[in-house]
Amino acid sequence: MVIATDQSNRPPAAHASFAALRHPGFRIYFLSTAAAMLADNVEHVISYWVIFQKFHSPTLGGFAVISHWLPFLAFSIYSGALADRFDPRRIIQLGMLLFIGVSIAWGVLFTTGALQPWHARVLLVIHGCAGVLWSPASQLLLHDIVGEGELQSAVRLGATARYLGMLCGPALGGALLLALGPTRGIFVNALIYLPMLLWLWKAPYGPWFRKEKPAPIRAVRGFGDVFTTFRVIRDNPTVLCMTLLAGGAAFMIGNAYQAQMPGFAQDLGHGNPGLSYSMLLAADAAGALTAGFVLESRGLLQASPRMALVLAMVWCCALGSFGLTGIYPLALALLFIAGFVELSFNSMAQTLVQLAAPASIRGRVIGVFSMAANGMRTFSGLTVGMLGGLIGIHGSLSLSAAMLLIAIGCLMVFQAPARASTAQG
């Protein structure tokens, strides 16, 4: 039987600015993660543009979003179990190989002109599965790179690296489209995944380099083992609360409002391509980047369940207000705030889950968290998108934010007794 331990209330260690970057391995991890996320977003820019030009299919565009997140919902727990059982470096490398293979396949289909809708669907699904292999294993590897003492710094900076790739990816993708065209551009993009793939080949991390000999870990054998993982999470108030927070935020809002940004931009008077529209798209990611660097440099917002919930409530208020405003500068400011607090509470929740998860099934627990934080985004198109078709995107985003705010308030009430019992103990 696995005993769930709650370590969320341990005394915080003395903070050093950008603590995780003191580890040479993490510096390479940071840069290679940013490069891989950059390539991920460049591929989206090029492949989505070609799909739109060739098929003009909104249905295929919707499938692209679903296929990106649905694999997280279906396979995250099993991916985490693979990272528990095998070397997480090799799991990440397998994900990078799938990413590279998909980019090359796109390039071949573009070159031959043979691209059909079913080709696009298959490649989009494989791309989503590659992301599932990458995500839990990369989080598990952080324990080997920096240890528990600087885990929050590593998680926060890792999230910053991903946002850096997300922010720069559309710009580089557009530049490659203009300079090289979609075919050569997508082939060049395949090379951007290589730093992560090559570094992990000899990186001195993983089970073979751990000082303590890990206990044997069984593979996931059916739904019984999956339910065992859920029971462990249920018995750990911190992990349960943070997983519910991540799942609720992904389900109710996720990043569905970004897909509706052309409509928001049009209503704000900046619907045509140009600097004003680009700034609206980039404001959210810029806020997240600022959070990563400012919070790390000043040692602010140390991880605690209550602080994560408060920041998530601020996120709801910022996005709800964005949905209602008709003032462009205010919309930019609200999106910036939303990005700032989103990185803050998501990285905090991830840190708390990793610290509190039992070591023997840490990968599985991270997999459940990844399923909640990423997989549940599959349904955010319903709460923001389809509801927006009925009452308008402004009303749907604000209503979704209000409902999530109420749910987070309930989580705060749920978390209070656990915090009190921990303090008494």
- Segments making up each domain of the chain, as ranges: 20-207, 222-414
Is residue 281 packed enough to be buried (19+ CB in 10 Å), middle (13-18) or exposed (0-12)?
Answer: middle
User: Residue 45 has what pLDDT?
Assistant: 81
- The full DSSP string for 211-271 is SSPPPP-PPP-HHHHHHHHHHHHHT-HHHHHHHHHHHHHHHHTTTHHHHTHHHHHHHTT--
CATH class of 20-207: mainly alpha
The CATH number assigned to the domain with range 222-414 reads 1.20.1250.20
Structure tokens at 76: 């995250």
Residue 56's contacts (CB-CB under 8 Å, 6 or more residues apart) are: none
Q: How far is CA 157 from the centre of its chain?
A: 13
Question: Are 213 and 113 contacting, i.e. CB atoms less than 8 angstroms apart?
Answer: no
pTM: 0.78
Token representation of residue 90: 């090799």
- Point out the residues of the chain with pLDDT beneath 50: 1-14, 215-216, 420-425
**Cα–Cα distance between 407 and 397 in angstroms, integer?**
15
Q: Residues 177-227: pLDDT tens digits?
A: 888 999 999 999 999 999 999 999 988 887 777 666 554 455 555 555 667
Angle, CA of 42, 189 and 133, to the nearest 5°:
80
**Residue 214: per-residue pLDDT:** 54
pLDDT in tens, 3-60: 444 444 443 444 567 788 888 999 999 999 999 999 998 898 888 888 878 887 767 7
Residues 188 and 176: beta-carbon distance below 8 Å: yes
The whole-number pLDDT of residue 351 equals 86
Classify residue 116 by burial, with Cβ atoms within 10 Å: 0-12, 13-18, 19+.
exposed
DSSP secondary structure code for residue 87 in this structure: -
Residue 144 has a pLDDT of: 87
Q: What is the pLDDT of residue 190?
A: 96
Q: Which class for 327: exposed (0-12), middle (13-18), buried (19 or more C-beta within 10 A)?
A: exposed
Q: How far is CA 180 from CA 5, 215, 382, in A?
A: 53, 51, 37
